[in-house]
């Protein structure tokens, strides 16, 4: 229902803009128009094309992002562990946090297994927040994924408070700075192909047309496959989740939305000047619409007299 309502509103703006543009260019203006109607015509010249750009790109974005068209299951297939796999895993490694990585009274809240390319079982340990004693006196700012709380006033340096820790199942050794390896594992699982089919893995530290702010998570890893028909996978390696999938159709829509709807062609101006230009034309569209309604109401009132 919500989708239909938004579609109707955006569609009405598109058709109104298209109709107004056709009246401007294909119907000759009558001589002797009132000043008000002449002013409305002038406003329409500046408002029609921006209104078409906003409405057309918005409708395209609405259709592409609609859950009705997204039948792809975002979940990943579970890792099936054999007895041999579990025999090679010491349960004590899944319950204890190495002291050098304990941020202060943390506990293991859960574990998730993934299989590395060489067959090694890796475990992601979900950790609880730091205990009261370990958290006291620490700054409130936190890194997005490491959640590192540093006590800047203390002379001693405490280990960072992590939300998760990756360890090897066989010896329990922590896996640090292994974001790319984890991204490869999770992306290949999500798509269902071997890691040899991966073309490239790149870190993503900011939002872009390819990975929009709607996905919320940063930093992530972008994994592209040799087969262009396969989606690009964005992996949050720290939390061990798929942040987003991007198909060729998604990327095309994202570029169109960024260029046409967000007026990316004005990025050379800088964000604030570009936003001011957009606000000006949005105000012009609203002013033209209100002015048109006022003229139409007056016209109907004059006919009744």
* pLDDT, position 233: 92
Tell me the DSSP string of 196-214.
GGEEEEEEE-S--SSS-GG
For residue 200, the 8-state DSSP code is E
pLDDT in tens, 79-125: 666 666 665 666 666 666 665 565 566 777 777 777 776 777 777 77
* pLDDT, position 121: 77
User: Are 58 and 139 members of one domain?
Assistant: no
Position 73 in a domain: no
* pLDDT, position 148: 36
User: Are 246 and 268 members of one domain?
Assistant: no
* pLDDT, position 179: 81
User: Are 171 and 186 members of one domain?
Assistant: no
Position 144 in a domain: yes
pLDDT in tens, 25-65: 776 666 656 777 778 778 888 888 899 999 988 888 888 77
Higher pLDDT, 176 or 56: 56
Position 155 in a domain: yes
Q: How many domains does the chain have?
A: 3
Position 95 in a domain: yes
User: Are 170 and 190 members of one domain?
Assistant: no
Position 190 in a domain: yes
Position 74 in a domain: no
Identify the three-state secondary structure at position 215: helix
Range of the domain at 50: 2-28+35-68+263-304
* pLDDT, position 91: 67
Position 78 in a domain: no
pLDDT in tens, 199-238: 999 999 988 878 877 788 888 999 999 998 899 999 988 7
User: Are 235 and 277 members of one domain?
Assistant: no
pLDDT in tens, 126-171: 777 765 333 333 333 333 344 333 333 333 344 455 677 777 777 7
Helix axes 35-64, 2-26, angle to 10 degrees: 140
Identify the three-state secondary structure at position 273: helix
Helix ranges, the chain (H) = 2-26, 35-64, 83-87, 132-135, 179-191, 248-256, 271-304
When pLDDT is averaged across residues 15-20 and rounded to a whole number, the result is 80
User: Are 172 and 116 members of one domain?
Assistant: yes
| Apex 66 CA angle, 65 and 67, nearest 5 | 115
pLDDT in tens, 242-251: 888 888 888 8
User: Are 105 and 168 members of one domain?
Assistant: yes
Q: What are phi and psi of 122, to 5 degrees?
A: -110, 145
Identify the three-state secondary structure at position 231: coil
**Residue 94 near residue 85, CB atoms below 8 Å:** no
Position 241 in a domain: yes
User: Are 172 and 93 members of one domain?
Assistant: yes
Neighbours of 100 (CB within 10 A): 7
User: Are 163 and 102 members of one domain?
Assistant: yes
User: Are 102 and 122 members of one domain?
Assistant: yes
**Residue 60 near residue 257, CB atoms below 8 Å:** yes
Whether residue 73 has pLDDT greater than 60: no
User: Are 234 and 281 members of one domain?
Assistant: no
User: Are 251 and 220 members of one domain?
Assistant: yes
C-alpha 220/C-alpha 246 separation (Å) is 13
C-alpha 72/C-alpha 255 separation (Å) is 21
């Amino acid at each position: 229902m919500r989708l239909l309502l938004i579609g109707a509103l955006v569609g009405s703006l598109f058709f109104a803009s298209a109709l107004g543009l056709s009246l401007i260019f294909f119907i000759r203006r009558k001589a002797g128009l009132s000043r008000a109607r002449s002013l409305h015509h002038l406003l329409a010249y500046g408002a029609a094309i921006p209104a078409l750009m906003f409405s057309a790109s918005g409708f395209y974005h609405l259709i592409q992002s609609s859950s009705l068209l997204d039948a792809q299951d975002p979940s990943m297939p579970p890792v099936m562990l054999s007895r041999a796999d579990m025999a090679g895993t010491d349960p004590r490694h899944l319950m204890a946090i190495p002291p050098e990585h304990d941020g202060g009274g943390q506990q293991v809240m859960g574990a998730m297994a993934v299989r590395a390319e060489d067959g090694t079982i890796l475990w992601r340990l979900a950790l609880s927040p730091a205990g009261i004693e370990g958290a006291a006196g620490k700054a409130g700012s936190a890194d997005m994924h490491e959640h590192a709380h540093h006590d800047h006033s203390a002379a001693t340096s405490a280990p960072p408070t992590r939300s998760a820790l990756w360890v090897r199942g066989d010896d329990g050794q922590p896996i640090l700075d292994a974001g790319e390896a984890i991204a490869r594992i999770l992306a290949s699982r999500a798509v269902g192909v071997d890691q040899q089919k991966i073309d490239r893995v790149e870190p993503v530290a900011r939002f872009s047309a390819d990975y929009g702010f709607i996905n919320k998570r940063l930093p992530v890893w972008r994994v592209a496959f040799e087969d262009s028909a396969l989606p690009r996978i964005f992996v949050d390696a720290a939390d061990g989740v798929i942040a987003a999938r991007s198909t060729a159709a998604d990327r095309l829509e994202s570029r169109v939305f960024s260029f046409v709807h967000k007026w990316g062609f004005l990025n050379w101006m800088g964000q604030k000047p570009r936003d001011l230009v957009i606000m000006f034309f949005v105000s012009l569209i609203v002013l033209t619409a209100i002015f048109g309604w006022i003229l139409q109401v007056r016209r109907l009132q004059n006919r009744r007299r």
